[in-house]
Structure 1
């Protein structure tokens, strides 16, 4: 169990913790494809080929392996590579990416997300700690966050110890005074445990723990169950 008396701040994952990420990415891909069909039809034809697009992304990931933490950069380069291959103007890469990125911020929150955010943000500094490129302010939940630390901004991704240390620093506390909450057993839980944080694993799908004997302090199926650790929480 977590010890709430020792918590002075909360770091919180975003994708698949507060909202399901793949429906969001799917809508963003659809918006990008529609934009390309109007502004770069030849690129749209290539982009509609799932295997070709996958191969282009794999090549970009390999070429820029030192930028694996920066999903926005990799997405932009993938769009640029498709434009180049199709013979369309390269300057279209930036506006095309902005179409994708804007739609990527339109998320459908899990039902338990807002009640939990309201509850925690009234009691602690809450820090977004994400490997993704969602912007809590563009998503519309920025008022619940004290700060955001992303892999893109810091240059390292979870489970790297440095991103957890940066999250604690953003809250003005030590890592052992932080409760980290996230859905990814490896990136979130293993990383935060190594940083000395208390850890709550949000295991919505009921996956098995396969990362050794050191386990999260608490495993829950939803955020209501986690908030119930506080005696004054009312769902």
Structure 2
């Protein structure tokens, strides 16, 4: 990393700023409870595991929606409702129940203080393949904005989404540091776009900083002198 040339940061969200599966599992429970009241036939036919399997099946059937997790989830709900004899028009309301709970994330302990430090020194842009909402998660004040695969039409590791993020930040790719937990989606994708990278690995030791890894956002803030 040539940190002297860094002018801005892009940050992944899920499993970088918060663990994603606790939020997804909480959202699935809230959704199923809502279905029990509002679409009981669907709730009886599809438990949480079956709803998840249906969502995965829709993903296999509709590869053109790979970048749009909202479309996949909403369509799977429509199919579940319709196939159970409930009103498929309830899919939008059901998805909103899921989505509200999905955005109730638990930030990793160091994240709020680290985002304050980083955002005071650099413009930050969220860059995600997921469908978390900056405002609903409570982290919007620290970011200049966000770019999602759903909005852009392709997701990481496609270099185009990284290049678009740099354009929005008004920086050349070499001037932007991308931070994320996934070595393929985040690290390889950003490097292919010409960006600098920090692989966030919460199990690494301090020596890993020299190998392009950081243990958490607090370590990144220290590395950047924030």
Is the structural similarity TM-score above 0.5?
Answer: yes
Q: CA deviation at 1:184?
A: 0.6
Aligned to 1:190: 188
Question: Structure 1 residue 221 and structure 2 residue 215: aligned?
Answer: yes
Q: How far, CA to CA, are the matches of 1:230 and 1:49 in structure 2?
A: 43
Contact 1:83–1:93 (CA<8 Å) still a contact in 2?
yes
Decide whether aligned partners of structure 1 residues 108 and 193 sit closer, same or farther in structure 2, where only a CA change above 3 A counts: same
Cα deviation digits, residues 72-109 of structure 1 (max 9, x gap): 01000011111011110011100000000011110000
Aligned to 2:164: 166
**What is the CA RMSD across the aligned residues, in angstroms?**
1.4
Aligned to 1:59: 57
Q: CA deviation at 1:4?
A: 2.2
Cα deviation digits, residues 136-194 of structure 1 (max 9, x gap): 11111101001100000000010000110011011111111000000011100010111
Contact 1:46–1:53 (CA<8 Å) still a contact in 2?
no
Q: How far, CA to CA, are the matches of 1:53 and 1:31 in structure 2?
A: 13
TM-score calculated relative to the size of structure 1: 0.90
Q: How far, CA to CA, are the matches of 1:34 and 1:54 in structure 2?
A: 15
Contact 1:198–1:217 (CA<8 Å) still a contact in 2?
no
TM-score calculated relative to the size of structure 2: 0.94
Give the structure with the larger helix fraction.
2
Decide whether aligned partners of structure 1 residues 55 and 20 sit closer, same or farther in structure 2, where only a CA change above 3 A counts: closer
Q: CA deviation at 1:60?
A: 1.1
Aligned to 2:120: 122
Cα deviation digits, residues 103-139 of structure 1 (max 9, x gap): 1110000011111211111111100000000011111
Contact 1:183–1:201 (CA<8 Å) still a contact in 2?
yes
Ranges in structure 2 where 5+ consecutive residues have no aligned partner: 205-209
